[in-house]
Amino acid sequence: MRKDIATPQYTKSILDKHKFKFKKSLGQNFLIDRNVLDKIVATADVSSETGVIEIGPGIGSLTEQLAKKAKKVTAFEIDQRLIPILEDTLSDYPHVKVIHQDVLEADLKAVIEAEFSGIDDLMVVANLPYYVTTPIILKLLTERLPIRGIVVMIQKEVADRMAAKPGTKDYGSLSIAVQYYAVAKSEIKVPKTVFVPQPNVDSSVISLTLREQAPVHVENENFFFEVVRSSFAQRRKTLLNNLQNNLFSKEQKPMIEGALQETGIDGKRRGETLSIEEFARLSNALLPLNRV
């Protein structure tokens, strides 16, 4: 029986054997705690029927625990130096495939079709590189992939923003972007001590369960997200001011006021107090104005 990769000693021996030096610019903080890995795998509810896409396998500590439970694991790793190391550390798991590619450039739909045909239950599970967390998650959500959900370790501050409720300091356009596509839940807080090297920030595991249908009716998605972004552009300004300054013009003020009145939303409120339903109503009412 092999030892777990995720112990401080074994991780060190793998790194020494391959003379591996961490690249900070690639967000390389490797997990060395089996308990945390077990919690991630359990949160993702990975079974022998599950196909898993992993992003950034590193030296394979999470990949190994996923491979013990999943039907198949396909992992994207950007760092060429890790490819031979992964071939070594994951040699016991023939149902793991590592693709040497920047996940942001990957055609995920095509990879899913090629790698997971006949597997209906798909999850994305990862300890994400923190420098690129938001673009990766938004790519996974907006491409409407046939996945059940996403369970990822990310910077705690970003997890808090993704799962935030209206009226809280963390609530913003990222909360709405994520919650439009998924039900977001911050699962566990993770201390810096479970990584080598230790990151400068605290981490959280967040689960994003994909919605089968959007939670609100939006006539034009792009415009809805423009309204949301504009409403948060200057957090201390009122909704009316933000919309007037960032999406429309001063001359359109009476029409913006008309749309606000029609939806029963007070223009003196701040964006951070509006629920996703209110943003949907507002963007539908403002849409004809956008076409003028």
Interface residues with ligand SAM (CB under 6 A)? 26-31, 55-58, 61-62, 76-79, 82, 102-104, 127, 129, 132
Beta partners for residue 149, in sequence order: 123, 209
Q: How far apart are CA 212 and CA 197, in angstroms?
A: 39
Smallest gap from Cβ 261 to ligand SAM, in A, equals 46
Q: Which helix (H) or strand (E) holds 207?
A: strand 203-210
Question: How many C-beta atoms surround the C-beta of residue 75 within 10 A?
Answer: 27
**CA separation for the pair 182, 18 (Å, rounded):** 40
Closest to ligand SAM by CB, 80 or 222 = 80
Q: What is the distance between the alpha carbons of residues 261 and 252, in angstroms, rounded to a whole number?
A: 14
CB of 262 to ligand SAM, least distance (A): 44
Least distance CB 269 / ligand SAM (angstroms): 38
* Minimum CB distance to ligand SAM, residue 163 (Å): 20
Instruction: Give the angle subtended at the CA of 217 by the CAs of 134 and 214, to the nearest 5°.
Output: 45
> Which residues have C-beta within 8 Å of that of residue 268, sequence separation ≥ 6?
238, 239, 240
Please identify, using beta-carbon distances, which residue of 155 and 179 lies nearer to ligand SAM.
155
Indicate the residue among 190 and 286 with the shorter CB distance to ligand SAM: 190
The smaller minimum CB distance to ligand SAM, of residues 151 and 243, is found at: 151
Q: Which is nearer to ligand SAM, 40 or 174 (CB)?
A: 40
Q: Which residue is nearest to ligand SAM (CB)?
A: 56
CB of 222 to ligand SAM, least distance (A): 25
